[in-house]
Each structure stands twice: as structure tokens, then as C-alpha cells.
A and B are shown apart, each in its own frame.
Chain A
Amino acid sequence: MWFKRVMGAMVALTVVLAACTADTGTSQEPSGSSTPSVAPAEQVLRVDIGGEPPTLDPTAATDSASIQVLRSLTYPLAYFDEDLNIVPGLAESWDVSEDGQTITFHLKSDLKYSNGDPIVAGDFVYSWKRLIDPRTAAGYSYVMADVVGGSELLGADPEVDDIDAMLDAFGVSAPDDSTFVVSLAHAASYFVYIATLWVTVPLQESWTSTEGFTEAENYVSSGPMKLTTWEHNAQIVLEANENWSAGPAPTLERIEMAMIADPAASLGAYETDDLDIGSVPSQDVARVQEDPELSQEVLQGTVLSIYYFGFDLKDPNGPFAQSLNLRKAFTEAIDRETMITVAFGGIGTVAYSLVPPGMPGYQDTKFWEYNLEQAQADFAAGLSELGITAADLHLQIGFNADSNHENKVEFMQGQWSTAFGVTVEPVSLEWGAYLSRLSEDPFDIFRLGWGADYPHPNNFLTDLISCSSGNNNGGYCNEEVDALLAEAAVKATLDEQVPLYNQAQEQVMADAPIITIRNGARFTLIKPWVQNLVPTSQDSSTGELFYSWITIAPHEM
């Protein structure tokens, strides 16, 4: 590396010298021949995945680092285009039956794994059964809930039930090597989004039953890249998978993934040209924006996520469960525009609704706005509804201690205090303890966030706020909303679904079960020589969906 850097400096020097002599020279040579030739750049992308990925088993992965790697190592039936429209992946096409309950995927021909074996429909059958099998205990098994037999398997007890028989009845089949059929228990229009997930990629049984199958020497990839090095806790190297034919051949020869745990060190590595894509810790945002060079390399964009505070509606005697006016008051009292500037360093935008911009079904409506007078009126109404005074309110706001939420909570406390003269007591807990407290007995007001698994409103409504959702920590439950969501789920096309989802969202927002604060934003640094990077609002790491097709322009280092 030293050598590389010295060589880089020498090359740079030579180029400068050459340029100087060319300028001062009197000869009138044709410019073409005197242009210093820069060798074509090595097509290598260097990124940071922030730490050791917990797993590279596609079925088991649930976290962003693993997914960042798996997006290049695997390829699902359907994929996205740059605007997150669904496009064919390993499947060339798919048909949905009249009743919406059968989806037949037709695989592209001549698909191969990195080991040269053909990708056959049976591998999907195996992979999907492996995902739902309770003995696998995969974190994302619930995405199979809509498949015939799926919900039974989710609830099965392997020590009691005959799992093998249940798996036989599971609604996936491969009539031939290129046809994969999924039978759904009910029409679920969004289901094709499930087929874009890394957990639904094809897997060879012979591979996953190998001891240590996720290690580099054993890894069998279905994606555009293959795994050539996994030095635990140090680095991962992917190289182009020459057997891959499901799409345009990867333009990168190699992706080097570092595991830099410390965000400051990661930014440092970017600044010393050891990374091509850099993330910026919040305390460095201002510096980067002011830096004449770095500020040129900033890539901003939206991310499909929200930062929110929920109200405790689980406790029927709690003030927020009893009074909609109180919830409204506490929402209207927050000046979120200012909050973004003050507490989020100006990065991101106010979330005025649950479904974030960039997602189908997004409504450009400001459901609740900052309105101090209204808030105070609602507060008074709420108190008289409950027959109490402000002094009777003993409220707690909970957040997890470990990552920069104090200033947000403080901001909100301040606003409530000015608006109502009430002091909301902040309580912070360590992450694990915090989560377990939320599922048992949430704080009156509690902080959480939500990011998209797939770009469909179902993921922000049904999965987050429906009565039965496990992620509905506040315990909000409105039968009407659930009915609308169920109705939307059986509609075949997005156009038919969206009005229903909109109606559902309007109802939810009217009930004010949570204060939506901010939609996520990306603030990434991209080296100028990184070309054809395609960021989408679905990425948790910028450009991860389309890493393989990045090109590296010639540059001096």
C-alpha cells in the first residue's frame, strides 16, 4: 500500500510535469499525441460495511451489513429498476391467476450459480421451505405468511407438530426446472415484492448442507458477484461472477468491503482515498458541508424510513389512550421544521405522514402541522375530557440511550413545556432493555424508527400499525383501518390498491397514534471517479442494489 501511494504520487508528479512542459513548449504537435495517457482504472469498488456481517446465509440475514453484501451475491426472482419499479430478475416473467392466489414464475434460461450448476425451479422450492421451516428459525420467515400453509408453519411447534408433512403442504412447487409456482392463501397483490427479497433467492440444498457453507471457499452465489474472500472481522472481497447471465454482465471486477466499526475512522478512510463511498457521522456533517472539496462529493437523497414517537395506547387508563385531543395537542405542539434544523443538523425532511415520499401511495398532505394555539386548545379540551389538570399529568418519554436521541427528546420536551407548561420526564434505557420494555409496557411517549423492507405502502401500514402487527408497540388498533388494509391486499394492481391505502393512512393520521417526525435522508460521499452509481430510496447503503454495474473512471491516486 505504501508502495501504491508512492507510485501514485510519482504518477501524479509525472503528469503535472508533462503538462507543464507541454504548456511552455513551443512545438505545435497535434494535441492527441501529447496527452498524457492515464491507464484505464482498475474496476474495483471499495466500500465499508461497518462491521462483520452477522451472516451470509440469505435465509437468515436480517441486518443491513449482511444485506449490503447479499444484494450482490444473490439475485431474486424479481428485481427493481432505478425507480424501484418491479422488473424481471431470475424470472423472465410471471403470471397471476384470475383469483390472484396463484403466481407462476417463468425462469430465464441457462441460469447458473457461480459454481457452474444450473439454477432450477426446485432450488426456490427448497429455499422457500427452508425459510418458513420453524426449525430454521429464520428472522424473516413471516414474509411467507401469505403462502398456503405459511401461517400454520409460522405457528407450528417443531417438538409437537409434524413439520415435514406441513412443509409438503406448503404452497410452493416446481412443475419443471424453469417454472416455479406459488399458491397464496388469499390474494396478496404486494406478494411480488416479497419475491425481490434476499431471503427468497434460490439455494442449492447440496450447498446449504455443507459444513461452513457461507465461508468464501464454499460460497455458491446466484448474483452478479461471487464471494472470494471473507476474512472475519477484517474484510470481504467479491469478484465478478462469470457464470451469471440473468442481466447485464457486471462492470466491476471486484468489490472490496472493509469492516470499519468506528464511523469517524470510516470517514477518515474515505478522506485518504481508501474508500470510494463514504458515510458521514452526524457530528461531521457541518464540516463536510463547509469543506470545499468534500462538499462537492456529497450525494443527498431520500430514504424510505421514518423517525417517530409513539403514544402508549396499550394502557386503557393512560391519558393518551383516553384522549384523542391530548394526542393531537402533543403532535401539534411540535415545530418539526425547526426540529429538523436544530436536532437533525438540517439533514432530512419533515415526515407529515406515515408512508414516506418515494413510495407508491405517498400522500403529499400535511396531516398535522405546527399550530401552537390549536395545540393549547386541544390540550385544554383533553384535560377537561379527562377531568384533570395539567399538574395531574405525569408523563414519561422513553428513548434508547446509546445513539444521539437526547437532543431530539430535549427539543420536544422544550416545546411541550412552552406550549402546556408540563414537564415530560425523559427516561433512557440500554437498547435491548428498551425494546423489551416497549413490548411489555411502553412509555407514555416512546421513540422508534421504521425503514422499508420493500417499497410498498403495505410495509408502512399493515406491517407497522395494524392491530395484529408485532411492531405496533403503542397498541393502536382501529378495525376500520385493518379492513381497508385487508381490502387493499387483495387488489391486483397498484392503481387499485393505492386509494385504499390512502384511505387507511388518512384514518390512521386522524387518530394520531404516533408523531411522525422525519423522513430519513442519505448524506453520502461519493468519489468523483465512481460512475453509474444508482442510489434508490430503498438502499440502506447507498447504491447497494446496483453495485455490480458501477464503473470506475480513470483517476490518479
Chain B
Amino acid sequence: MGAYLIRRVLWIIPVLFVVSIITFSLMHAVPGGPWSKEKKLPPSVIEHLDQKYNLDEPVFIQYLNWVGPLQFDEGALQRDEADNLVFGGLLAGDLGPSYKYLDRSVNDIVADGIWVTVQLGLMSFILSVIVGIPLGVIAALRHNGIPDYAATFVSIIGIATPTFVASILLLVVFSIALGWFQPNSLDWRTDPSSWVLPVIALSLFPIAQIARYTRASMLEVTRRDYVRTAHSKGVKEGSVVVVHMIRNALIPVVTILGPLLAFLITGSFITEFIFSVPGIGRYYVTSIGQRDYGVIMAMTMLYAAAIAIMNLVVDVLYAYIDPRIRYS
């Protein structure tokens, strides 16, 4: 298992490497640049900006500089001579400058927001799991009963309602009409009520998703022979469900949890946008429109790493839940 884990973790490196090359070339291939504005900057200013940010180099040199700390273009890397921005590169833990937030490095931006985003994602994840799984279980146990229809109804709504619709609805109803929560909280760190609506908004889809998978999986498990065996032993209804069914039913559900967690941790863009959550999710989409190359790269790498790690976690969790799976 240990060797397996190390191997898997090491595998993430080439994956990220490939992702970074693809993203880097794509993003430079797309027309437009960080300095395109409706009110255009004079060409000389754009030239100066390109020089300052080393955008005047060939793309592969820019990539090497981004990976760093390989000193390829000495001139460009001496800040004192030409006052260009010099940064250590990814390998030195330096994600470079932001092309939009001029006062700040990408490291600053990420450091500021990532914990808020991760916290939001984790809270939503936990909520999704502790609501979604029981919902699915109950629906399956009361198959074709009122709880099943209710849960199915909730699932369909959760899946069919886009997150932004749900977010706006929650905002309009609970913040604006009822005034229970502030529409823009300014104290995310100190006021727990700030998190309520965004966490719920972000959880609706995953709850529905998890509930649906759990229900289907539970129904499937109900028909399994080993469940009949458990009944034939006289095991109580509740224990049959808890001891014999849920664990088996969760195996397929776990498969979706990894990507879901990665999605929640990195993909809360809309929710962050609507509820003014000071996380990094907002940057994920805006940076692309703004051609904020540094932020685009950072977000992509974070997202890719999150997915890779979550998949690894899922595989490990798999082995934990399903004894038939062993890694070596």
C-alpha cells in the first residue's frame, strides 16, 4: 500500500506537467491578452507592459520561466537593470505576478482566498454527505412510499436547478425578502451565519446527486443475496441496513465523491460570485476572460492537483470500504 501510494503520488507530477503545458500553450494561443481593454492602451505602453512581464519572449521561454527557476533570459530576469518582474517560478513555489491585480502576486491571491474556498467546499461536502446519503437510504427503504417520492422530488429539483438559480433564489428569499441573512457578509471569519446560504446553495446539487446514487445503489443492494442471508439470521431491520447494506451501497457512491469534492473545493465560482465569498473560486472564470495568465495557470494547476489527489483519496477509500480491493 505504501509503495502504491508513493507511486500514485509521483504519477501526479507528470500529469500536472502535461496539464500545465497544454494550458499554457492554449492560453497563449487564444487571441487577446491581459492588456486588451475597451479603451485601448497605446502600442508603446503595451510593449512596455509586455517587456515588464516578459510577455515579449517566445512562449516556450515564458513557460520555462514560469516553471523556473531556470534562468534563460538573463536580461529579463534582472529586475534591477530593466525593472522587469522577476519571479522564481513554480518549482520555487512562486506562481508569478497577476496581470490583472497589479499590486499582488498570484501567491498572495491564492493564499488569501484558498482557505475560504476550501472551507466552503468542505462544509458543503460534509453537508452533502450527511444529508444526501441518509436521504438516499431512506428513499430506498421506503421504496415507492411517500419518503421515496419526496426524496426523489428533492433530487430532481437539486439536479435540475442550476447552482446559480438556486443561489439567487436563496439570496432573494432568505436575504432580501426575509432578511434572515446579510446579502454580503463582511465577516466571513467571525460570523458563522455568513456561510449558511452559500453552503446550502453549493450543496443542493451534490446532495441530490449523492441521494440519487445512494438510492439506486441501496435498491440494488436490497436485492442482494447476502441481505437475504442477514435476514435469515434474524438480524434486526436496522442492523441489516446499517451493518450489511450501507457499506456495500456506498461503494459506487464513493466513486462520485472524489470528483464531487474536487468540484466543491475548486468549483464554487458561481456561489462565491453571488454571495460575495472572498475565495479563489471567483478567479477561476474571471481570470480567463481577463487573460490573467498567472492566475489562469495557478487555478488550473490547483484544480488539476485537487482532482488528482481526490481520485487518489477515493481509491484509498475504496480499498477501505471494499475489502476485495487491495493495492500493491
Contact = CB atoms under 8 A, between A and B. Distances in A.
B297 to A, nearest CB: 16
Interface string B286-304: 0001110000000000000
Given A135-B82, A470-B41, A57 B31 contact: no
Interface string A35-74: 0000000000000100010111100101000000000000
A433 B30 contact: yes
Interface in A118-143: 134-139, 141-142
A139 B53 CA distance: 13
Given A231-B278, A470-B41, A1 B51 contact: no
Contacts of B186: 231, 234-235, 256, 258
Interface stretch (B174-182, B202-210, B214-222): B174-182
A299 B241 CA distance: 63
Contact of B39 (A54, A137, A155, A450): A450
Contacts of B83: 135-136, 158
Contacts of A142: 41-42, 44-45
Contact of B171 (A1, A261, A264, A432): A264
Contacts of B290: 432
B144 interface: no
Given A259-B276, A260-B276, A272 B39 contact: no
A492 interface: no
B103 A265 contact: no
Contact of A55 (B45, B102, B179): B102
B191 interface: yes
Contact of A138 (B30, B45, B275, B291): B45
Range of interface residues on chain B?
35 or more
B231 interface: no
A436 B39 contact: no
A506 interface: no
A142 B47 CA distance: 13
A435 B113 contact: no
A432 B102 contact: no
B103 A214 contact: yes
A159 B31 CA distance: 26
A57 B39 contact: no
B33 interface: yes
A398 to B, nearest CB: 13
A297 B30 CA distance: 44
A285 B60 CA distance: 49
Contacts of B273: 261-262
Interface string A241-273: 000000000000000101111101110110110
Contacts of A262: 168, 273-276
Contacts of A135: 48, 52, 82-84
Interface string B14-41: 0000000000000000111101111111
B106 to A, nearest CB: 13
A258 B276 contact: yes
Contacts of A134: 44, 48, 51
Given A260-B184, A272-B176, A471 B103 contact: no
B188 interface: yes
Contact of A155 (B44, B75, B112): B44
Interface residues of A, number: 63
Contact of B102 (A54, A259, A269): A54
B238 interface: no
Nearest to B83: A135
A268 B181 CA distance: 11
B42 A137 contact: no
Nearest to B102: A55
Contact of A137 (B37, B52, B109, B182): B52
B188 A234 contact: yes
B183 interface: yes
A190 to B, nearest CB: 17
A245 B72 CA distance: 51
B43 interface: yes
B193 interface: yes
Contact of A272 (B30, B38, B103, B183): B183
B49 interface: yes
A469 to B, nearest CB: 9
**Best-surrounded residue of A2, A136, A233, A437 (most CB of chain B within 10 A):** A233
Contacts of A451: 39
Q: Main secondary structure on chain A at its contact with chain B?
A: loop
B103 A437 contact: no
B188 A471 contact: no
Contacts of B279: 233
A16 B296 CA distance: 55
Contacts of B185: 1
A269 B176 CA distance: 7
Given A54-B100, A433-B32, A158 B51 contact: yes
A264 B30 contact: no
A394 interface: no
**Best-surrounded residue of A48, A264, A453 (most CB of chain B within 10 A):** A264
A56 B188 CA distance: 23
B163 to A, nearest CB: 13
Given A231-B278, A432-B32, A159 B103 contact: no
B82 A158 contact: yes
B109 A232 contact: yes
Contacts of B40: 435, 439, 470-471
Nearest to A273: B179
Contacts of A437: 31
Nearest to A400: B38
A136 B168 CA distance: 42
B172 interface: yes
B38 A435 contact: yes
Contact of B51 (A159, A232, A431): A159
A43 to B, nearest CB: 19
A57 B103 CA distance: 7
B4 interface: no
A268 B41 contact: no
A410 interface: no
B283 to A, nearest CB: 9
Interface in A134-158: 134-139, 141-142, 154-155, 157-158
Given A432-B32, A435-B32, A5 B179 contact: yes
Nearest to B35: A139
B101 interface: yes
Nearest to B273: A261
A6 to B, nearest CB: 11
* Top 4 A-B pairs, shortest CB-CB distance: A432-B32, A135-B83, A233-B278, A137-B48
Given A154-B45, A233-B113, A264-B171, 9 more contacts: A134-B44, A135-B84, A137-B45, A142-B41, A157-B47, A158-B51, A232-B112, A450-B38, A450-B39
15 contacts: A5-B179, A54-B103, A142-B42, A142-B45, A158-B82, A233-B278, A261-B272, A265-B274, A269-B182, A272-B179, A430-B32, A432-B31, A436-B31, A436-B32, A439-B40
Interface of A: 1-2, 5, 48, 52, 54-57, 60, 62, 134-139, 141-142, 154-155, 157-159, 212, 214-215, 231-235, 256, 258-262, 264-266, 268-269, 271-272, 274, 402, 430-437, 439, 448-451, 453, 470-471
